[in-house]
Amino acid sequence: MYFIKPTDPHPITPAKALLLGLLCLIWLGTGLVGHDPWKPDDAFSFGLIYSMLQNGDWLVPTLAGEPFMDNPPLYYWTAALFAKLFSPWLPLHDGARLASGFYTALTLLFLGLSGRKLYGENRGWAAAIILIGCLGMLVCAHEMLTDLALLTGCAMMLYGFTLSQERFLRAGVWIGTGMGIGFMSKGFISPILFVLIAASLPLLFQNWRKRNYYLSISIAVLFALPWLTIWPLLLYQHSPQLFDDWAWTHNIGNWIGYAKTGFNKDAFYYLENLPWLAWPALPLAGWIVWQSRRRLTQRDDLQLPLVSFAVMLITLSLSAKIEEAFALPMLLPITLLATASLSMLKRGAANALDWFGIMTFALLAILMWWGWSGLLLDNQAKITHWLKDYQPGFEPELHTTPFVIAIIATVMWVVVVWRVGRSMRRAALNWASGITLIWILAMTLWLPWLDSGKSYRTMVATLKQALPKHYQCVAGENLGDGQRAMLHYFGNIITQRDSKHRCDLRLIQGDKLSRPLLDETRWEKIWEGSRKGDKGEHYRLYRQVEKK
């Protein structure tokens, strides 16, 4: 890049870099292990991974014995390898979840490299710290989500674009590889983003109309081709019907169907939710864009993240599926713009954000300690009654190791807040350390309480005990993908939803008050149950009555 980067009056020493890296590592590693797969994304993603490990079919993703062609299998491959590698020490679901940590670590690395290239030697750590502070990253980064591999691909692409005006070969390699990883994780969205970003930059700004840039784009296409062709060709050779199901039914056909229905209110979902998903990076990004609005044609360090964000926002808002996790790629350019603001942020604004973060996380930490103590001591506070009602049957216990970790994390946060010197980075660092503290408390003190209501383990165990010794198959009605996956994992129960199967057992999901429309002369209820405290999901198992 040709923009003259400002001199940083507070360089990052090796000791500071080590501490920042430790903060990222703690944030990243906390919550990856130690709990069962939770609904919805964790459960259904692991169902695909578990099926891959069970049947050995690495070409076609399957869920409970049926092909599931929503996404290409790169994330599932990675998670299955991690699960197999760590199986001597970790349960399969914990080992698989380490793949999310792997992809998130790569995302932080390439985002940091982009920040360093765009804004100066010491801005790489700032970019990583700002990203882990974004509220939208906290839960998603610790779940089994194919979107995390897409996020890594987008981070690689952005890094490649930062190099595209100088080192076209290296730029092309990273852009093409990032596009390929994104494609093998989420399908066509990654190539679409590449085409639109690559075309928009030279179209809007003269700085990008250079020979090296066009060479970078050409090399990127060459390096992406193997990623874009090998798995689809193998899938087509294996089954043209499955290929059509993936390419048309779940991708191209979805977009065409959405285009025919016309514009709807869901298109505003990301605009409405980005203010909290990207907090506190979004206001910092908006401020730097506003401050530099008259110099955008000269600032190519702002042009790349600004164009990338606009392309991602429009493209994702007009896609057929709208979900919170799909907004993750937009956090990358927002974070880069926020990183650019650190050198120009006024001290008053930085201090205001700093104190807001300190007070917010201090209050949340106090509430979490108070609520946990109330459960443990069984006091008569209203919050204790509410927590017990929310998870009926939960018996709190004092576990020494999580308790000690929570104490250490709380003390360390107080030390960090107290000792961090004044600089424009202080607000971002204190915010990231505060959100890390809250996550540690949630994954230590509160993990048994959370897992008690979110896990399917106990429910599936009781269901399995009620199954007859001999039966043909189980028909699942109104079961979601996550439930079918957990029935397979915890109970080795394969549910059929194809009407062609005439099963002698039927498992029906509904609410507790509903009455399934079954002929009681032909079907006998032999079990019913639900997860602890879950009033929305209730299950009934019926057995076909033999004709006399």
Specify the higher pLDDT residue, 85 or 256.
85
d(CA 141, CA 235): 29
d(CA 141, CA 30): 10
Residue-level pLDDT at 422: 54
Q: Mean of the per-residue pLDDT values for the chain? A: 90
Asked if 479 and 507 touch (Cβ cutoff 8 Å), the reply is yes
Task: Give 154's pLDDT tier (boundaries 50, 70, 90).
Answer: very high
Asked if 535 and 498 touch (Cβ cutoff 8 Å), the reply is no
Where in the chain are the domains?
14-341, 347-454, 457-544
Among the listed ranges 34-43, 120-129, 300-309, 516-525, which one has the minimum average pLDDT value? 516-525
pLDDT digits (tens, 9 = 90+) for 198-252: 999 999 999 899 999 999 999 999 999 999 999 999 999 999 999 999 998 888 8
- Does pLDDT of 46 surpass 70? yes
Q: What is the mean pLDDT of residues 69-79?
A: 96
- Does pLDDT of 499 surpass 70? no
Asked if 110 and 163 touch (Cβ cutoff 8 Å), the reply is no
Residue-level pLDDT at 518: 66
Residue-level pLDDT at 511: 74
**Pick from 97, 108, 103: which is nearest to 41 by CA?**
97
Name the phi and psi angles at 210, rounded to 5.
-130, 155
Scan for tokens 């216990």, then name that residue.
397
pLDDT digits (tens, 9 = 90+) for 303-349: 999 999 999 999 999 887 888 999 999 999 999 999 999 877 777 88
pLDDT digits (tens, 9 = 90+) for 3-37: 445 545 556 777 888 889 999 999 999 999 999 99
Task: Give 2's pLDDT tier (boundaries 50, 70, 90).
Answer: very low
Q: What is the mean pLDDT of residues 104-120?
A: 95
Q: What is the mean pLDDT of residues 154-180?
A: 96
pTM, whole model, 2 decimals?
Answer: 0.93
pLDDT digits (tens, 9 = 90+) for 464-485: 999 998 898 999 888 889 999 9
Percentage of the chain with pLDDT > 70?
A: 93
